[in-house]
Chain A
Amino acid sequence: MSSIALPKIGTTDRWDGLRPLALAAPLLLLLLFSFGAPIVALLSRAVYEPTIANALPHTIAALRQDSGAGVPGEPVFLALAADLKQAQAAGAVYEFAKALNTRLPGARSQVLRVARIATQDQATGKEAMIKAAPLLGEEQSWAAIRTGTNRFTSFYLLSAFDLRWTERGTIGAVPADQAVFLRVFGRTFLIATIVTLATLALAFPLAFVITNLRPAVAGMVLVLVLLPFWTSILVRTAAWTVILQKFGLLNDLLLWLGLTSDRLELMYSRTGLIIAMTHIQLPFTLLPIYSVMRSVKPSLVRAAQSLGARPFTAFWRVYLPQVMPGVLAGCLLTFILCLGYYITPVLIGGASDQLISNFIANYVNVELNWEMAAALSFVLLASTLGLYVTLTRYLGLDLFKMG
């Protein structure tokens, strides 16, 4: 009898595994097309940049004929003039000049000038072109052009770490006055850490108190915590500017209480930013901790104490390990959300409190350098995923099981 029944159970099991997947398939497909594909398309701009190669087909061919490094000979310049003329007609010169300018500061205006001259059919030779665009007479410019003709580039990803290819073909640091991103990444992670710890310090006792309140009162306290959670982040940030500004509510209160003798500079400062971010993030840390605390049986702590454990030992060895998954989940959630903060640093932070998202937005909106934005986004995404994987793998935390 069992020999007949067993394979049947086996097939049901297999179908059981597929059925939820089939149910989720429409959602997964939607996510893939509306979320996954655009992200991949944007991130690919960080490593795939065909602008220079597309603009210079003749020059690339001529460069292959030209032997050796350094400034090439007359044929390459003639080919370059032809390419620029073609690009000018197709309206592609600007994109090319901008792409080259990223690698070779100052190239933009010279390329545009030489393209205008090439279109008028004057001075297509080497000497005349170098006269119009002195950069073309320098070895490092041609090194930049040669590496630029490769459609796949590591330039932007290296730049995201303040690195570059040096003239000798090794990877080195960029000049000090251009080094930005390591500092900004460090700052982003630092502020996210401080805000996470601050929310934990506030959320843990609060969650503990709420768990031990009568259900009716607990519900009211929870609503008080959640009410701001349902308000737009922009509104909450604007509200904080009213409170934190120099002649704002907080400064008035502190002066009135006699706690300070001078008005504090809280707006456009890191202190103000951390206060506002901590408030906004509090529910994200609190709710996972609270949901786990509610499921912990109080009898276990009492049992520990009745067996002779002191209150601290009972808390440390019996209570804390049980609520730890909630603490880790709440902290991870807050930390990851903090990494992507944009609007609060803009409105409350000072110039040296801008986070990586602000730089990504600047590259997308103002500088139109979407490649650099993609590279920075990639580093941010990779470090976030890396953090998540590390925590789930080594600390045994499973966010999916938390839900």
Chain B
Amino acid sequence: MKRVSRTTLLALASAAIVGQLQPASAEELTVMATGGAWQAALRQAWFEPFAKKMGIKFNEQEYTGELGKIKAMVETGNVPIDLVTVETSTVLQGCDAGVLIRLDYSKVADRSRFLPGTALDCGVGIDVYGDVLAYDTTVLKEAPTSVLDIFDTKKFPGKRAMRKAPAQNLEWALMADGVPIADIYKVLGTLAGVDRAFKKLDTIKKDIVWWDAGAQPPQLLASKEVVMTTAWNGRIQNAIDQDKRPFAIVWDNQIVEYDMIAIPKSAKNLDLAYKYLAYAADPEVGARLGRFIPYGPVLTDATPFVPKEVLPKLPTAPDHMKSYLVGDVEFWGDHGEDLVKRFNAWLAQ
């Protein structure tokens, strides 16, 4: 009896070892994204259909968008992910740091099909989103009319939430201080301009609650912790549409930006990662995300495929483009590090 069980064990063990040595029969692709309603939308629009089409397994991880996590993977030589979603300025930083690979666009799509600034050397655009202002209509009796109303503590007293980063906040501070939209980055490129922006932020510093993750603004509004918050438009729209929250979005003086996806250095399934990028660059596929979260396509030929009922919710809808700023990636690539340092020092003081 004892001998039999030992033989069985041995057989089982060797089977297990052999099983581990052989490659898995189904191919796998692993993506790391920034979670929340947005990642759920990516899953429904692209990840699951792609997995089905290719007959592969699609794994997902979440992170908060810091380059440090990818850098640590690359430096230790253990890169368990094949694709990663990143902000545009992080693409530039990761590209220079050699953490993200330079893409071979012949395997993706014709670069000219992308909106200007969305087909970068190390990252390709996913969607267009707006940095907007959101509030709870049952809390604020009088509706704000511009994102810049966040600086008006007399008319709208109470705590307000902003993203814990210098990007967008400095731009809005200058706009609120009277700098014309066309000159924002010119002014912000000077030391006096940066001082001016921080001085404007000083006026509301004690009333600000800072958020890190994109899922926080709807939560802060729902718990009535703040009376208004800056946010990514899709997160708020989903809270309105799916959770039936009484929220509203203020579009005037929004900042338009792009999400990106990139391939980290030493990714194990490089071919499959490229196939995914090519798949998502199809006009019809590219327009699909809008059905699940109101972010616009970065492909110029995808607009006809965006569902009619989604169009008026996009940051690029004509009604939302009366006064807006396009986030300057190059500026943040160049000055990001210094301004983040200054911002953190300012926060701590």
Binding site for B on A (CB under 8 A): 91, 93-95, 97-98, 101, 105-106, 108-109, 112, 177-180, 183-184, 245-248, 265, 267-268, 346, 350-352, 354, 359, 362, 364-368
Contacts and interface: CB of A to CB of B under 8 A. Distances in A.
B254 to A, nearest CB: 24
A94 B98 contact: yes
Given A177-B346, A265-B159, A367-B341, A247 B98 contact: no
B84 to A, nearest CB: 14
28 contacts: A91-B98, A94-B96, A95-B97, A101-B338, A108-B334, A108-B338, A109-B333, A177-B346, A178-B345, A179-B345, A180-B349, A184-B348, A246-B224, A247-B223, A247-B225, A265-B159, A267-B225, A350-B209, A352-B347, A352-B348, A354-B347, A359-B344, A364-B68, A365-B66, A366-B67, A366-B340, A368-B68, A368-B97
Contacts of B209: 267-268, 350
Contact of B342 (A94, A178, A265, A368): A178
Interface in B294-349: 333-335, 337-338, 340-342, 344-349
Interface in B207-248: 208-210, 212, 223-225
A67 to B, nearest CB: 33
Given A350-B209, A368-B67, 15 more contacts: A94-B97, A94-B98, A105-B338, A108-B337, A177-B345, A180-B344, A180-B348, A183-B349, A247-B224, A247-B225, A248-B223, A350-B210, A359-B344, A365-B66, A365-B68
A368 B336 CA distance: 13
Provide the main secondary structure of the chain B interface.
helix
Contact of A362 (B208, B210, B344): B344
Nearest to A107: B338
A352 to B, nearest CB: 7
Contacts of B349: 180, 183, 352
Contacts of A94: 96-98
B164 interface: yes
Nearest to A112: B96
A176 to B, nearest CB: 9
A109 B334 CA distance: 5
A94 B349 CA distance: 30
Interface string B39-54: 0000000000000000
A74 B72 CA distance: 39
Contacts of A366: 66-68, 340
Q: What are the 9 A-B residue pairs with the smallest beta carbon separation, nearest first?
A: A365-B68, A109-B334, A94-B96, A365-B66, A351-B347, A180-B345, A180-B348, A91-B98, A94-B97
B97 A351 contact: no
A9 to B, nearest CB: 50
B69 interface: yes
The interface centre, meaning the residue of B66, B68, B69, B212 with most chain A CB atoms within 10 A of its CB, is B68
Contacts of B113: none
B268 interface: no
Contacts of A365: 66, 68-69
Contact of A246 (B71, B208, B223, B347): B223
Given A245-B225, A246-B223, A351-B347, A177 B334 contact: no
A93 B97 CA distance: 8
B253 to A, nearest CB: 24
A109 B338 CA distance: 11
A101 B225 CA distance: 39
A132 to B, nearest CB: 14
B208 A351 contact: yes
Given A246-B224, A351-B164, A101 B337 contact: yes
A335 B224 CA distance: 34
A106 B68 contact: no
Contact of B337 (A246, A268, A367): A367
A248 B96 CA distance: 46
A268 B346 CA distance: 17
B337 to A, nearest CB: 6
Given A183-B348, A351-B208, A245 B223 contact: yes
B250 to A, nearest CB: 22
Contacts of A91: 98
Given A94-B96, A265-B159, A368-B71, A177 B223 contact: no
